[in-house]
Chain A
Amino acid sequence: MIRGLILMVLAMLAAPLAAQDSLPPAPYAYKQLDDPAQEKTAQDLMMTLRCLTCQSQSIADSDAPMAGDMRHQVRTRIAEGEDPEAIRAWLIERYGDWVSYQPQVTAMTWPLFAAPIVLLLFAALIARKRFGRARATGDKS
């Protein structure tokens, strides 16, 4: 009984403490990293991550609270020396492919990456078809 009461009191004390680290202005939401090289890495990464609560904005240019939290995440992790692509992978695992403006090559997205090659081949084909003949007749006239 007493132990239960103590646990309950402890839990009540702990709740606000636990809530505190998710409280609003995440320190690095609007603060840059001191090392310019690290800040640049973070900035480059943030430009390619989608703000999930906005409409077509990256987390680097949004005032939404969630974008601020994600900026904080990115900057903190970069400051800890984590690789930007590892951070992207972690975010994709957490929020899905939607979060990254840089599509990953998967079974679903490969046509995106095949498109430029197909278009180039197509262009080469048109040029060949058109100018192969043009050369033959052009010389005659």
Chain B
Amino acid sequence: MIAEIALAMLWLAAALAVLQLVLGSYALTVRGAEFLPAVRPIAVVQGVLVAIAFALLIVLFLRTDLSVKLVAANSHSLKPIIYKVAGAWGNHEGSMLLWVTVMGMAGGFVALLERRLNERTMVATLAGQAFVSLGFYAFMLFSSNPFERLNPAPAEGNGLNPLLQDPGLAFHPPTLYIGYVGLSIAFSFAIGALITRDVGPAFARAMRPWVMGAWIFLTLGITAGSWWAYYELGWGGWWFWDPVENASLMPWLAATALLHSVSVLATRNALKAWTVMLAVVAFSMSMVGTFLVRSGILTSVHAFAVDPERGSFILALLAIYIGGALALFGLRASTVTEGARFHLFSREGALVMNNVLLVGVLGIVLMGTLYPLVTEAFDTKVSVGPPYFNPVSAIFVFPMLIIMAAGPLMRWRSDNGRKLSSLMAVPALAAAVALALVVVFAGDIGILPLLGLVFAAGLAIASVLPLWKRNLRRTPAHIYGMVIAHLGIAVALAGMASESAFNTEKLVASEFGQSHTVGPWTIELQGVKPIAGANWTALEARLVARYGDSNVQTVLNPQSRMFASPPTATNEAALLTRWNGQLYAVLGEEGDDGRWQLRLWWKPFVPLIWYGGLMIGLGGILALVGRTSRDRRRKDEPEFEPTAAPAPDPAVAGGKEALA
């Protein structure tokens, strides 16, 4: 019964989306203006209905209702409760339901909360959101129904892929999806503003919190995914430029560019067309990513739906939405004024340069991800991996880091460079010191890791310089947000460079009582014993680790687990974190001679990668909170920031251009 109610809710929500689209479009015409106030409530109710449908799916998984096909295929009565819940979205149908749920709820929240935007633009935005949602409702209801029954019901379910049975991964997909789909709001705002020819600071201020929110979730989702790959796959890799990883990186790159350009539009009334374009591109990348993962076109751990029918459905949706948005953009581009002008050598100029470079990286990642699919169509299978992505993206990333260091220190509109050159001497010195230290103490570590460490040192110093000579108490929260996020980039970069520069690896076949050294560590294998968990059995090793000459002994317990349903073996690595790095131990198989395979790594400074990612996300949260409360305080007047060195006579310039 629950499944049928949920399905009915889903159909109702889809019907309301149709209404939202039709009524919203009609309300925009001259005769339909009386329907304008009706659109918001429809969007709210649609969000509530689809959320109920999703909640009911979770209930079905909690009850392990095996008469529902999806539950039987992906759950198991003995699974721990957290994985029963996570099982609801750890599969194709459930994740698509999550997608439309986030989309419907985002539309509902916009309808409830956003009161500053012109009502016509708002209604056009909600109609756009309904239009995009409809495609995905159709996809769910016609080819991926999560509430399909199974008759007769099986006695037991198949279980969830054990690799996914991990607390980190349980919440990784929803985090990422909120980010992906949150960008749909930016997309709809762009469409709405194009339709009503209303691209301007008010539109940018309405869109900004949604872009920032989506970007924060994407940042945290990617960070969590990388951490999961690092410790769960048992080989200590944190990023492999795998197509599925790229699918999450591409929307992030576009959203990062959008985040900066939307701020310029909100505060400086510049970059109008570019912001609209990026909003379209960002959500398009979310859809491309979903297509890549959901269509089964890739062979990869994440791609668990292999079904060409679904692939073509998503491809059609992609063509309709991206093509439609670009066509609309083409039609209306001439009516979008360019906005306020500025010099190349200014803060806006730096932001534009970095936006272009970010889009360059996006182009490379997109090309490298899709190209193997193109050649496969011509019967040549090629692989594009780290040896391509690392150096080629570096061409764009390193100039970007320099501009990122300098940009926040520059004036708006036009900068004469005098103050900048004296301020930039400090980070340049830090970079030189880092270079000397690495060359003297580490020797040859390869060009990219070397550049990474040097740039990280320079950027770390440069990113806190915007606070220089400021009253720290009166500095607004979003400035702290920017500083922390930029510092986070430097921290993550240092971790990435260290990971490829300083790793030491040891593979051994060990007897009991035998000691091994890896880096500064001495590790003794003391024993291996069987243990059992809720739905798995495992062999667990007891390793005792000592650092350097220290007498402190730490016990590590790496496991090799066997899951019964579905039958799969996984490695649970044991990690030991010190301030200067991480010891990573994996238990392998027992050899014929009774010796145990051990894989040991000492990875100096590697946790910085994820600390950096968290800092970037935290910076985003601070900026979001700061900006939102600021926007609420001053509602209508155009906002101009007090900068360290204010641009000459901003009020006059802004007033004139806001009218233009």
Q: Which residues of A contact B (CB under 8 A)?
A: 25, 30-32, 43, 47-48, 50, 55-58, 60-63, 96-103, 108-109, 111-112, 115-116, 119-120, 123, 126-127, 130-131, 134-135, 137-138, 141
Contact = CB atoms under 8 A, between A and B. Distances in A.
Interface stretch (B184-192, B257-265, B350-358): B350-358
Interface stretch (B110-118, B234-242, B457-465, B549-557): B234-242
Interface in B358-403: 359-360, 363-364, 367-368, 371, 375, 378, 380-388, 392, 395-396
Contacts of A96: 381
B507 interface: yes
Nearest to A102: B387
B419 interface: no
Nearest to B569: A63
A57 B244 CA distance: 12
Given A32-B507, A57-B240, A108-B380, A141 B653 contact: yes
A91 B597 CA distance: 27
Listed from nearest, the 5 A-B pairs whose CB atoms lie closest are A101-B385, A61-B235, A102-B387, A131-B344, A98-B381
Contacts of A141: 341, 653
Given A109-B371, A115-B367, A127-B356, A56 B384 contact: no
Interface in B224-261: 233-237, 240, 242-244
B360 A56 contact: no
Contacts of B234: 63
Interface of B: 233-237, 240, 242-244, 298-301, 303, 341-344, 349, 352-353, 356-357, 359-360, 363-364, 367-368, 371, 375, 378, 380-388, 392, 395-396, 413-414, 505-507, 509, 571, 588, 591-592, 597, 599, 653
Contact of A30 (B381, B571, B588): B588
Contact of A115 (B243, B244, B364): B364
B384 A138 contact: no
Contacts of A57: 235, 240
A112 B369 CA distance: 10
5 contacts: A30-B509, A56-B240, A63-B571, A97-B380, A108-B375
A123 B383 contact: no
Contacts of A98: 381-383
B85 to A, nearest CB: 26
A32 B506 contact: yes
Given A48-B385, A56-B243, A60-B235, A134 B344 contact: yes
Contacts of B343: 131, 134-135, 138
